[in-house]
Amino acid sequence: MSNTANFPDWHGTTILAVRKGGATVIAGDGQVSMGQTVVKGNAKKIRRLAGGRVVAGFAGATADAFTLLERLEAKLEQYPDQLARACVDLAKDWRTDRYLRRLEAMLIVADKDSMFTVTGVGDVLEPDGGVAAIGSGGNYALAAAKALMDSDLTAEAVARKAMGIAAEICVYTNGELTVESL
C-alpha cells in the first residue's frame, strides 16, 4: 500500500531531458496540482548539483525528492565526476534503506557525458536516443521530443517544443518551464 494513501491526490510534474548536438538540457514544468486544483504554477523542479556540473530534475513528492537530491549530492562528493557510480550507489541505498525506500519520487540526472533515470526500485537507466522523461506528462513530452530529434532544432529547442506539446495535452503540465543546460 502506498504511504500516500491518507494524503490528497497530488499530481503534476513533467521532466524532460534531451541530449543533442553535444548539449544536454533538462526542462521541467512548474505545475503542482491537488486533484483537479492547480496549487502552484511556477514550482522549480530542476536543480544544479556538484558545483553546477550535474543537473537533476525530479517528479513525485517534493520533500522526498529533496531528500534524494541531498543524498545524490553527497554521493557526487564521494565519487567526483563519476555520475553513474553516484546514481547506482543512490539507487542501492534507496532500495535497501528502511527510511529511503518509502520515498516516492523519481529523478533524471545528467552531466556533460551521461544521462540517467533513477527510481526507488533500484533502476538506473541510461536512455536510448538521448531522450528521457518522467512525471505526469512524461510520456507526452518523451514522444514529442523523440519525434523532434531528427529536426534541425537544438537540444534546448527540442526540449521547449516537446514540453509545450505535453502542456497542451496533459492537464497536470503547464508551460511555466525551468530549463538548465550543460
Query: 23 and 160 in contact (C-beta within 8 Å)?
Result: no
- Per residue in 157-177, pLDDT (tens digit) is 999 999 999 999 999 999 999
Greatest extent of the chain over all pairs of C-alpha atoms, in Å: 47
- 3: which residues sit within 8 A by CB, 6+ positions away? 102, 104
Q: Establish if 52 belongs to a structural domain.
A: yes
Structural domain includes residue 3: no
Phi, psi values for residue 50, rounded to 5°:
55, 50
Residue 178, domain member (yes or no):
no
Q: Copy the grid coordinates of residue 164.
A: 509545450
Each residue's pLDDT expressed in tens, for the chain with a length of 182 residues: 444 444 445 456 899 999 999 999 999 999 988 888 888 999 999 999 999 999 999 998 888 999 999 999 999 999 999 999 999 999 999 998 888 888 889 999 999 999 999 998 889 999 999 999 999 999 999 999 999 999 999 999 999 999 999 999 999 999 999 999 99
Displacement of CA 33 from its chain's centroid (Å): 17
**Residue for cell digits 513528492?**
61
Decide if 19 is inside a domain: yes
Task: Indicate the SS3 state at residue 71.
Answer: helix
- Residue 75: name the closest of 65, 62, 87 by CA: 87
CA-atom Rg of the chain in angstroms: 15
154 located within any domain: yes
Residue 5 counted as domain residue: no
- Classify residue 138: in a domain, yes or no: yes
Domain with residue 19: its CATH number is 3.60.20.10
What are the residue numbers of the active site? 13
Domain count, the chain: 1
Q: Is residue 148 part of a domain?
A: yes
Total-model pTM: 0.92
User: Which of helix, strand or coil describes residue 52?
Assistant: helix
Q: In what order do the strands lie in the sheet with 32-34?
A: 10-11, 32-34, 37-40
Look up residue 122 and give its DSSP letter: S
Q: 3-class DSSP state for residue 173?
A: coil
Question: Residue 142 is part of which domain span?
Answer: 10-173
For residue 170, CA distances in Å to 33, 35, 160, 163, 181 come to 12, 14, 15, 10, 24
